[in-house]
Chains A and B, each alone.
Chain A
Amino acid sequence: MTTTDADADADAAEARLTVSHPAGLHLRPAALFVQTASRFASEIRARNLSRDNSPDVNAKSILGVMQVAVSQGDQLLVRAHGADAVEAIAALTALVAGNFGDAS
């Protein structure tokens, strides 16, 4: 289940993504997330909405993404800011919604 909101500001976009992959956002899914985010120039931040005190991390940093500790069923808030923010959020949404190509 995903929702995407294009902000009124054309340079900003965000999405709330539910991670249904059994491994959550660990190892290969986390790597794919970071590799996808890194294709875009926009600044991209991620935070785990399902955990109290989740840090807001750089989505292009594997250490950061591993620190948000996303487990199966958790909801992730991803926000992008920059010229390709909408495209970046679309790509990350597709990755998560597509269950990371079933990468384990």
Chain B
Amino acid sequence: MSGVGLLIVSHSRKLAEGVRELAEQVAQGRVPIAAVGGTADGSLGTNADDIRVAAEQLASASVDGVAVLLDMGSAVMSTELALEGFGTPHRICNAPLVEGAIVAAVEASIGSDLAATAAAAEGASQLRKVAVA
């Protein structure tokens, strides 16, 4: 499978898997999505080794690029560490996790490249939840 894959990183494994569940609903099976979160003992946190394993799973699905959606704080540092030397083009999106992942999933599902997928995810920060009076 070519195209862009998504890597979801959260401090919480449940949150990461929930975001993947939402993104998969709109991706219609066309986008490889990996979710990773929590520490080895199941508590909240991020682990660079686990993130690298998830990234490699996407690479073995033969994606051309990986768009990373993450929550905040040390998830960024752990992901940067995890992806040092990772051979597949990738980008950490400066995007809200939920909206960004959904928008990226749709964008990737229509064959957009990594730059366009990441740009769309980053544009998700402008979406309004309710109409402004």
Q: Do A and B come from one complex?
A: yes
Residues of A within 8 A of B (CB): 27-28, 30-31, 34-35, 38, 60-63, 66-67, 69
B110 and A60: CB pair below 8 A? yes
Q: Smallest CB–CB gap between B98 and chain A, Å?
A: 11
> Are the CB atoms of A38 and B111 closer together than 8 Å?
yes
A63 engages B123 (CB within 8 Å): yes
Residues in chain B near residue A28, CB distance under 8 A = 25-26
- Once the chains bind, are A63 and B25 in contact (CB under 8 Å)? no
Provide the residues of chain B in CB contact with A66, threshold 8 Å.
Answer: 103, 127
- Inter-chain CA distance A30–B109, complex, in Å, is 13
A66 to B28, CA, bound (A): 18
Closest to A62 in B: B106
Report the separation of the CA atoms of residues A66 and B120 in the bound assembly, to the nearest whole angstrom: 12
Q: Given A28-B26, A38-B111, do A61 and B120 touch, yes or no (CB 8 Å)?
A: yes
For chain B, the bracket of interface size reads: 10 to 19
A to B contact number (C-beta, < 8 Å): 38
B50 within 8 A of A: no
Q: In the bound complex, do residue A31 and residue B106 qualify as a contact, i.e. CB atoms below 8 Å apart?
A: yes
Q: B: which residues have CB within 8 A of A? A: 25-26, 28, 102-103, 105-107, 109-111, 120, 123-124, 126-128, 131
Chain B residues with CB below 8 A from A35, complex form: 28, 106, 109-110
Q: CB distance A31 to B131 under 8 Å?
A: no
Cα separation A79 to B124 with both chains bound (whole Å): 24
Can you list 16 contacts pairing A with B, beta carbon distance less than 8 Å?
A27-B26, A27-B102, A28-B26, A31-B28, A31-B105, A34-B106, A35-B106, A35-B109, A35-B110, A61-B120, A62-B106, A62-B120, A63-B103, A66-B103, A69-B128, A69-B131
Query: What chain B residues lie within 8 Å of A34 (beta carbons)?
Result: 106, 110
Contact across chains for A63 and B111 when beta carbons are under 8 A apart = no
User: Once the chains bind, are B26 and A63 in contact (CB under 8 Å)?
Assistant: no
Chain A residues near B106 (CB, 8 Å)? Answer: 30-31, 34-35, 62
Interface pairs A-B: 7 shortest CB-CB: A31-B26, A38-B110, A62-B106, A31-B106, A63-B123, A62-B103, A63-B120
